[in-house]
Structure 1
Amino acid sequence: MHPNLTRYIEQLEKEAVIGGAYPKKLGRPELMFLQEVWGPVFNYQYDGLQAEYPFKDFKEGQRFVDFVYVKGGMKLLIEIDGFTTHARDISPGEFDDHLLRQNDLVLSGWLVLRFSAHLVEKQPQQCQKQIKQAIGHWWSLTKGELTTEDADVWRLRRNLLVQMAAQRNGSLKPRDVADAFQVTSRAAVNWLKRFQAEGVFTGETSKQQRTTRYILQNTFQ
């Protein structure tokens, strides 16, 4: 287990005790998600991620969700579904309530992602991909062409692109970024140009003097 994840879990348990509750015990699927999915996407930084998050539905009923990420204006909610818990051995009424619960979350302004425990364990890269796409989708919805000067948003964006470039032999094309985060090509170019100006990338130009590829500087590798 990554040391940052160990500290994150210890902090969860500490906060539960301070709040007068039993220490939060995450199950194996949730721990796998933190280690194999969230960790690689966010360089094992868990700032802004909350586990066993409570909220009230429109009937004022108390609910809990597995994870929420609230940072830089983003409201991302993630559920890890076990097959037995969510697809078998439930009554029609419980199934209806399960669907209404998700509708309540969407209507409350949350971007909702659901992963099966099997997918988290066997195909974590697919989960990572959809988290990146969710981040890009949220920014597209709330920030237009993503020109916000919010420091947390740009810092997160830079870290994700640095990690992505490191996994692609140190270079990125705008289309790579657009596909990974489900944003427009124009937005992807704006991101890369900004980080080029900050010295994170250098541009590689074609004969037509168009920047076709962005190379990660050695200090960030």
Structure 2
Amino acid sequence: MGTNSVYEEWIGWHTSSRNGERRRRVAEGHGHAERLFAESVWWPAFHHFSNLHPEYEVVDFRDGVRFLDFAYIHGQIRVCIEIDGFGPHRRDIDRKQFSDELSRQNQLVIDGWQIIRFSYDDVKEKPRRCQQTLQQLFGRLFGNAESGEGNLSVLEKEALRYVSRNQGVARPGDLFRYLGVGRKRGNALVQSLIEKKWFQSRGSTQRVRAYRLKEDRSVTF
């Protein structure tokens, strides 16, 4: 199933499972910028839309209702993702609206939300940078806690997907650049995968040339 089909199925499910204003927001408010993010940033980064909610409704600090562009909710982890376009809304915003927007964001933080904001230009022109930002965030949030597939963190699963797509082998530098991590953090991540019996190294102890997916392992997530 292609990305477009998965996206349509995901949006269709959220539309059909809602009613009233919540349904209208998904059907009409989820526009080009949001779809571009979902297909060009989120999907390539994680290859699923599990726990990601478009146009998510929250009660604001004035007991009104607001909608987040995206909300990722997994256990106690809550991440708000906003896509900001540099258009009339940004250029023409008045002082009252500006203050209201900051108060809204502050209240989300107080309520336990992590907030990530991307410009539309970065989503369109620098999607890989946006992917790395998300992968780094979720890698930090999940750490080595269980994340749906055994005890693999988000970054560990992404490392396994990358190696699987490259015929089961990858050089350290290529893998670390793809994940957007430095050598120290990358080595720690790979060592964790070796200890969990997903990876085996090729080369000497002092100089590892590549990492290979173990023959008895297959990546299905």
> Which residue of structure 1 lines up, in the alignment, with residue 131 of structure 2?
128
Q: CA deviation at 1:185?
A: 3.4
Aligned counterpart, 1:64: 67
Q: Aligned partners of 2:20 and 2:94: how far apart in 1?
A: 37
Call closer, same or farther: CA 1:202–1:99 in 2, change over 3 Å.
Answer: same
Shift of 1:149: 4.5
Shift of 1:51: 0.9
Q: Distance in 2 between matches of 1:130 and 1:40?
A: 13
Q: Percent identity, aligned pairs only?
A: 27
SS across alignment from 2:201: strand
- Is 1:192–2:190 an aligned residue pair? yes
The one of 45, 67, 75 equivalent to 1:41 is 45
Shift of the 184–107 alpha-carbon distance from structure 1 to 2, 3 Å rule, reads farther
Distance 2:22 2:174 in 1: 50
The 2-side partners of 1:184 and 1:109 are apart by 31
**RMSD over aligned Cα atoms:** 3.3
Once the two structures are superposed, residues 36-72 of structure 1 have per-residue CA deviations (whole angstroms, 9 ceiling, x without a partner) of 11110111x1110011111123332321110011125
Once residues 118 and 183 of structure 1 are traced to their aligned partners in structure 2, the CA distance between those partners, rounded to angstroms, is 26
Is there any run of 5+ residues in structure 1 with no aligned partner, and where? 140-145
Residue 26 of structure 2, aligned match among 24, 27, 30: 24
Aligned residue in 1 for 2:202: 204
Q: CA deviation at 1:101?
A: 1.4
- TM-superposed CA distance for 1:28, in Å, is 0.4
**Greater RCO, 1 or 2 (C-alpha within 8 Å, sep 6+):** 1
Pick from 66, 83, 92 the counterpart of residue 86 of structure 2: 83
**Alpha-carbon deviation of 1:81?**
1.0
CA offsets, 1:137-169, max 9 Å, x none?
324xxxxxx343554562644431123335777
Aligned partners of 1:165 and 1:172 also within 8 Å: no
Instruction: Calculate the TM-score normalised by the size of structure 1.
Output: 0.78
Written as runs of structure 1 = structure 2, the 5 A alignment for 1:65-214 is: 65-71=68-74, 73-139=76-142, 146-149=143-146, 151=148, 154=152, 156-165=154-163, 170-171=169-170, 173=172, 177=176, 180=179, 185=184, 188-208=186-206, 213-214=210-211
Q: In the TM superposition, what is the alpha-carbon distance from 1:189 to its structure 2 partner?
A: 4.5
Q: Per-residue deviation at 1:102?
A: 1.4
Secondary structure at the counterpart of residue 24 of structure 1: helix
Under a length normalisation based on structure 2, what TM-score does the superposition of the two structures give? 0.78
Gaps of 5+ in 2: none
Task: Assess, with a 3 A threshold, how the Cα gap between structure 1 residues 166 and 149 changes in structure 2: closer, same or farther.
Answer: closer
